[in-house]
Amino acid sequence: MIYNVYKPAGWSSFDVVKKIRNITKEKKVGHGGTLDPFAEGVLIIGTGKDTKTLQQYTNTDKSYKAVLKLGELTDTLDKEGTITKIKPVPDLNAEEIATVLNSFRGLQTQIPPMYSAKKIKGKRLYLLARQNLEIPREPVSINIYSIRLIDFNNSEIKFSAIVSKGTYIRVLGQDIALKLGTVGHLISLIRTKVGDFNYKNSQSIQNFQEKWKLTTI
């Protein structure tokens, strides 16, 4: 089966997989596209023979809402990291921010961050990063189909984006901050859509567990 599960912040994607495996007692359980532990939102879960179809969800377009905090850079590019750089935030207005956001639309390349689940030569990058190691990463082709300013307040920018597979919103946030003349990291990230699955018809882990109990009574 394929399930649209809402991953809570603080859980890794594999934490959700383990929980669904415990609930369903299925031996084969997987997910279609990693979400960072600090992030929340749509996580596609497959069980049994349907784990073979998960790649199609990994490869599909995804939508996000993010909050970017300007003035501070962290090693993970999100709020769970250690601050590595502080830089003043210039006076900005909505028009300037929207112009910078719009400049990121279209085909481009992006270098995957060290703190990511991407494998290089069989090793997860985040495991190497935790050893204070940094290795060269090849740029990946991505496409940002849409990016829009939702709101801004002092040093925080809230924006939405629709992107292709392989796009790291944390890296996008860092690049936006640099183009605005400062540094930054994400303090909130919500995946609102994966392909045709969106957060409105997703189910919490608690709801999933309750429904599963009803079907097995």
Which residues are catalytic, by number?
A: 36
Q: Which residue has the tokens 């073979």?
A: 52
Question: Distance between alpha carbon 8 and the CA centroid of its chain, in Å?
Answer: 12
Residues counted in the chain: 217
Q: What are phi and psi of 86, to 5 degrees?
A: -125, 135
Task: Evaluate whether 3 touches 32 at the Cβ level (below 8 Å).
Answer: no
Q: Which of 198, 151, 204 is nearest to 57 (CA)?
A: 198
